[in-house]
Amino acid sequence: MAQIVVYVKGKVVPSKESVIHSGIYESRPEMNAVFHIHDQLVVGLADELKLPCTEGEQPRGSYELAKEVQRMLSLRKDARYLVLRNHGVVAVGETMAAAGRLAEDVNRMARNLTQRMCNS
């Protein structure tokens, strides 16, 4: 079974999904921030919002998921936002503020779409 080993420093136990973060930093050295959140509203509307999304559902924290994210980012050099099917989202940026703003902006788009769907 393939593995990715990630070494981290800090005062808290790292997420089991650190392998995703590590893979993104490896693929995108110009990025300094990765937000990985479980935004179920966006995940549920990924296709309607036409967001790049992983093809299949991979186990959380798995080598396969980290590799699929890396593959998608290498195919889309300008992509800064990805949906992990039935799981969550990833927003990347040069700064924490930029990545966070992107995650908030996409969530706002999803809420707006939901309102339009409810009003029609």
- Residues found near Zn ion in the complex (CB under 5 A): 17, 88
Tokens of 41: 């509203």
Q: Residue with CB nearest Zn ion?
A: 88
**How big is the chain, counted in residues?**
120
Percentages helix, strand, coil for the chain (3-state, rounded to 5) are 45, 15, 45
Residue 76 C-beta: closest distance to Zn ion, Å: 20
Alpha-carbon distance of 12 to 47, in angstroms, equals 35
In the complex with Zn ion, which residue's Cβ is closer, 82 or 110? 82
Alpha-carbon distance of 33 to 65, in angstroms, equals 19
In the complex with Zn ion, which residue's Cβ is closer, 55 or 78? 55
In the complex with Zn ion, which residue's Cβ is closer, 80 or 87? 87
Residue 81's nearest CA partner among 47, 120, 44, 53 is 53
Residue 80 C-beta: closest distance to Zn ion, Å: 18
Residue 96 C-beta: closest distance to Zn ion, Å: 18
Residue 16 C-beta: closest distance to Zn ion, Å: 9
